[in-house]
Amino acid sequence: MSRENIEIVKQALDAFGRGEADAFADLTTPDVEWKTGLGAVEGGEIFRRREGVERYFERLSSAWDEFRFIPDEFRDGDDVVLVLGRLEGRGRGGGVPVDSPVGAVWELRDGKIWRLRAYLDRAEASEVAGL
């Protein structure tokens, strides 16, 4: 199942990159939890359910002219996918650039994402994922 999970995560990252909240949310369970690491919000805030996904996308859109998650590496476990990469962006208004390492732990259940946790420390993400 882990290879299929990587494909689901890649689809979610593609939807994220296009700014398509609905396409992203369609890949999640109704009780999804998304803990952010960086973005338009304080790191560590948790967004729940489809409404939370939509709210996070809205905040990104209002705070950033550009914001991308660029994956470098995928590691898989049974129902966990660890993605190591970078966040790149440019803030709206002042145009402040951001380029930061990131690790994201995606947990899946029955072919859907049920929890996503992002960390600016890749080692911490790897430890949380157990991979």
The predicted structure's pLDDT at residue 116: 95
Residue 106, pLDDT score: 97
Q: Print pLDDT tens along the chain (131 aa).
A: 478 999 999 999 999 888 899 999 999 999 999 988 765 455 567 889 999 999 888 887 777 777 888 999 999 988 999 999 998 877 777 777 888 899 999 999 999 999 999 998 899 999 999 87
- Interatomic CA distance for residues 69 and 3, integer angstroms: 20
What CATH number is associated with residue 100?
A: 3.10.450.50
| Contact of 31 with 8, CB cutoff 8 Å | no
Q: What is the pTM of this model?
A: 0.87
Which pLDDT score is estimated for 80? 96
- As for how many domains the chain has, the answer is 1
What pLDDT is stored for residue 40 in this prediction?
46
Question: What pLDDT sits at residue 65?
Answer: 72
Instruction: Write the DSSP assignment of 71-108 as a string of letters.
Output: EEEEEE-SSEEEEEEEEEEEETTT--EEEEEEEEEEEE
User: Domain of 68?
Assistant: 2-129
